[in-house]
Chain A
Amino acid sequence: GAVVSQHPSWVICKSGTSVKIECRSLDFQATTMFWYRQFPKQSLMLMATSNEGSKATYEQGVEKDKFLINHASLTLSTLTVTSAHPEDSSFYICSARSGGANPAPETQYFGPGTRLLVL
């Protein structure tokens, strides 16, 4: 099956620093990538949708200047949490969807997640 990787898997940083999370589709081209965050014992909340080569579309309530998303290639998207604060601590999960027929575009494939802890 299609594989999506994320790096790093976990990160601890000081308040005020910026953290970059990478999301890669390893064996398919992802024209669309999605970033979610998940708090303990809760469901996934979509933060933004990014299409390769264009600006990301952010969900209501998500600060675009705080969560910078870059989708520069068909296999890589990055999420940068700028000036991180303790309330940004969460589990961040990326997802990728194929633009072609294989794998079928209806299915989204998820990365293993990145746990961010801001001290």
Chain B
Amino acid sequence: SQQGEEDPQALSIQEGENATMNCSYKTSINNLQWYRQNSGRGLVHLILIRSNEREKHSGRLRVTLDTSKKSSSLLITASRAADTASYFCATRPGGSRLTFGEGTQLTVNP
């Protein structure tokens, strides 16, 4: 079963706007990861945030983690058409198996 739930399931914005995706999880974690998947392709690792971190930046990406609410958010600033993809959060609850949320399909319109 999937550990995470993401919302929204789909998000459509204009180029230049910011995109925010949320992920909730159920069990305690050591870290949470975000991945991107372009249509028909494999997953690309974007960022890992540890449980003792609250916020992390990587280029135009900003990830927050609230362990008290068991939730994380991914913010993409100044979005580009090339950011169009599915975004998944992933955790490794209690072991070695990485489990994924249902994903958010982001469409950035030029």
Contact = CB atoms under 8 A, between A and B. Distances in A.
Q: How large is the interface on A (under 10, 10 to 19, 20 to 34, 35 or more residues)?
A: 20 to 34
Given A49-B97, A113-B42, A43 B103 contact: yes
Interface string B19-62: 00000000000110101000011111100100000000000000
B96 interface: yes
Contacts of A115: 40
Contacts of A106: 30-31, 33, 48, 92
Contacts of A41: 105
A111 B42 contact: yes
Nearest to B97: A46
Q: Specify the main secondary structure of chain A where it touches its partner.
A: strand
B41 A34 contact: no
Interface in B81-110: 88, 92, 96-103, 105
A108 interface: yes
Contacts of A28: none
A18 interface: no
Size bracket, chain B contacts: 20 to 34
B98 A95 contact: yes
Given A49-B97, A106-B31, A44 B41 contact: no
B14 interface: no
B2 interface: yes
Contacts of A49: 96-97
A15 B48 CA distance: 41
Interface string A93-119: 101010000001011111111010000
A6 B43 CA distance: 12
Contact of A108 (B40, B98, B102): B98
Contacts of B100: 43-44
Contacts of A97: 96
Contacts of A91: 40
Interface of B: 2, 30-31, 33, 35, 40-45, 48, 88, 92, 96-103, 105
Interface of A: 1, 4, 6, 32, 34, 41-44, 46, 49, 91, 93, 95, 97, 104, 106-113, 115
